[in-house]
Amino acid sequence: MNVDFPGPVGRLEGILEEPEVQPRGAAVLCHPHPLHGGTMRNTIVVRAARALRSEGMATLRINFRGVEGSEGVHDGTGAEEGDVAAALEFLTERYGEVPLWAAGYSFGARTVCGLASKDARIERVVLIALPVAVYACECIQDLSQPGLCVFAGADEFGTAAELRDRFEDLPRGLVLEEVPGADHFFRGKTPIVEEIVRSFAHAAWSPVP
């Protein structure tokens, strides 16, 4: 269902979807760069949300400030982290003290990484196509929560190898997955991304033997 909630610079809009069971957690999902057509309806974001719902989580896909019906103007220098924080507050008000996750694709991944590195409310992160070749992503070194990084093997904006080369000491709780041959948009391979996210979520919720 369509929802709106207060953000740092005005109302933000989102699409809230719930699993068929009582939500065991809730996740905010963030889209790629607004100036390049990114919205909450992006295919990768939709698939990631579906993967999390299949594992019992409520999902909130949001439009950053200045995108479609969300008020404000695109910032691009970190202020969008406040939009994600506002979405987390909305989820807490609706679901109480359930575990909160944050996921993002490309620009959305960089934004989630930045917030998660300093916001302990986020218990797990899912970073898809983190653009390590074009953005400063030092925030990844400060992640304390478990997380998943999904890279495209032929991504001009950053690959798993570039991440490892740039940051020798990655957090131990970070799982790196790569889709061989995929470009930044995962053309023809979006179902693989969905399954990787679903598997990560399934493992996170499964009891430890």
Helix/strand/coil for 200: helix
- % of the chain surpassing 70 pLDDT: 99
Tell me if 92 sits within 8 A of 119, measured CB to CB.
no
The DSSP H or E segment spanning 183 is none
Q: What is the pTM of this model?
A: 0.96
pLDDT of residue 136: 87
pLDDT of residue 209: 52
Residue range 179-201: average pLDDT?
Answer: 97
pLDDT of residue 207: 65
- % of the chain surpassing 90 pLDDT: 94
Amino acid at 127: L
Mean pLDDT value across the chain: 96
20: containing domain: 2-205
For residue 181, what is the domain's CATH number?
3.40.50.1820
Residue range 120-147: average pLDDT?
Answer: 95
pLDDT of residue 168: 85
Tally of CB atoms within 10 A around 103:
29
Taking every pair of Cα atoms in the chain, the longest distance, rounded to a whole number of angstroms, is 48
pLDDT for 10 beyond 90: yes
pLDDT for 52 beyond 60: yes
Report the number of distinct structural domains present in the chain.
1
